[in-house]
Structure 1
Amino acid sequence: MFVPEVRHFVPTISIVGDDFCFPYLVNLAVKKKIGFSGKHIDVLDDNGAILLKVDGGIWEFKKKRTIYDPMGVPIITMCRKAISWHQKWAVHRGESLDGRNLLYTVQKSNGFQLKPQLEVFLATNLTGEICDFRVIGSYISQSFKVYKGDTLIAEMQVKEKFKLGSLGKGSFEARIYPGFDYAFIASLLVIVDEIDS
């Protein structure tokens, strides 16, 4: 069983909320299931307890995904702009898509790219010239990493790819380094999955 090594005085970087930051390495299992009613994703800890749930339809023109806590309370809502060369997503606190609740935006670094890369801009980044975080890799390449500057803060690997014969199931493994917001990382994982699928 995984026993986290707690590090004292680890600075936290909270994007979604302090409740999602731990002073130790966090390993997550992410299970995806697609059915006629929509797409459902569960984010679980090492013991199999559900930490986050993600729901959304599969036939929507303007895609929207909501992340809930285990009690069903909405934490963040992600919405893709209907027409966007860079496949831009806006992430808001709770269920509201009001601009006052904007936390960050995520987009491809350019519309046509050989090496998949996403850029994340926090709502407080007023110039929008330099991204706050980068996601390099893709669902198709079966792994991706999240960076703040040159510092690796999380990495994800596809454990089981979605296949027609697997009844719409797939899974990921994620590792979030000490002090970083796992709900933020989970949202990036969902957006990478949406862009690649």
Structure 2
Amino acid sequence: MTKQKVEWGVGDPTINVVGDRFCNPHPLELSVKRKMGLSLTTYDVYDVSGNLLLQVDGGVWRLDRKRVMRDPAGFPVLTMRGKALSLRDKWSVYHGESSENSDLIFCAQQSKALKLKSEFDIFLANNLGKEVRDFRTSGSYTNLSFKVYKDNAVIARFSQVNHKYSWKSFKGLDTYSVKVNPEVDYAFIIALLVMIDETEYQS
């Protein structure tokens, strides 16, 4: 009987969703800081040495919840566009700042309408319309702790470790801890974190 894989590890196939430059052969520990002001939300992604790896930004009051991920030089990596469909949330992710179907990377949609426990099904662009998902997330909004799976194997996990909010300045600061397994696209994982966080914030 074949033993079922429970954790993605060194030597496993590369999970390249956004780009191979975001795939590391070793485990990654990242810190994500979300800053929310009156008009703009930003997510800054750092490695353990404090180097900025990615930044995500978008307007607070945009109905389409457009979020753009950029590299340290400011060049767009991908764009996330979120919509509420009935009681579920759906996000579509495109290369660069595109919104063309030819540039679609993947779509993520809540598996269940109830938002106390968030489960997203993720379908790559070449798998849309099929019943079998490529990845899934599972976690709880009560403590904002999530895992990302390929089949039954965990490929990444993240959780909220700090929350600060000032009514005086109308600014918020949240910090997240992200652990990305070897050979897993960390830009893809950060995009999922942003989607889940934004879905919770809007709910």
Establish whether TM, by shorter chain, passes 0.5: yes
Say whether the 8 Å CA contact 1:139–1:158 is kept in structure 2: no
> One-letter code of the match for 2:31?
A
- Mapped to 2, the partners of 1:194 and 1:32 lie a distance apart of 11
Which one is further off, 13-22 or 109-118? 109-118
Match 2:175 to one of 171, 175, 180: 171
> One-letter code of the match for 1:106?
A
- Mapped to 1, the partners of 2:13 and 2:56 lie a distance apart of 28
1:151 paired residue number? 153
Match 2:191 to one of 187, 191, 197: 187
- Mapped to 1, the partners of 2:37 and 2:91 lie a distance apart of 23
CA 1:146/1:162 → structure 2, altered by over 3 Å: closer, same or farther? farther
* 1:112-168 Cα deviation digits (max 9, x unpaired): 355321111111114331211111014432310000000000000111135346931
- Mapped to 1, the partners of 2:99 and 2:129 lie a distance apart of 22
- Mapped to 2, the partners of 1:65 and 1:168 lie a distance apart of 18
Work out the number of aligned pairs and report it.
Answer: 191
Say whether the 8 Å CA contact 1:39–1:56 is kept in structure 2: yes
Map 1:133-152 onto structure 2 (within 5 A). Answer: 133-152=135-154
Match 1:58 to one of 53, 57, 60: 60
Give unpaired runs (5+ residues) of structure 2.
1-8
Match 1:94 to one of 72, 77, 96: 96
**Percent same amino acid among aligned pairs?**
42
2:18 paired residue number? 16
Q: Which has the higher strand share?
A: 2
Which one is further off, 116-125 or 185-194? 116-125
In structure 2, the residue corresponding to 1:55 is in which secondary structure? strand
The reply to whether residue 71 of structure 1 matches residue 54 of structure 2 is no
What TM-score does the superposition give when structure 2 sets the normalisation length? 0.88
Cα RMSD after superposing both structures: 1.9
2:5 paired residue number? none
Structure 1 residue 83: Cα displacement:
4.4
In structure 2, the residue corresponding to 1:147 is in which secondary structure? strand
In structure 1, the residue corresponding to 2:158 is in which secondary structure? strand
> One-letter code of the match for 1:170?
D
1:40 paired residue number? 42
* 1:75-109 Cα deviation digits (max 9, x unpaired): 00000125443210000010011111000001110
What TM-score does the superposition give when structure 1 sets the normalisation length? 0.90
> One-letter code of the match for 1:124?
N
Which one is further off, 95-104 or 78-87? 78-87
Extract structure 1 runs of 4+ deviating beyond 4 A: none
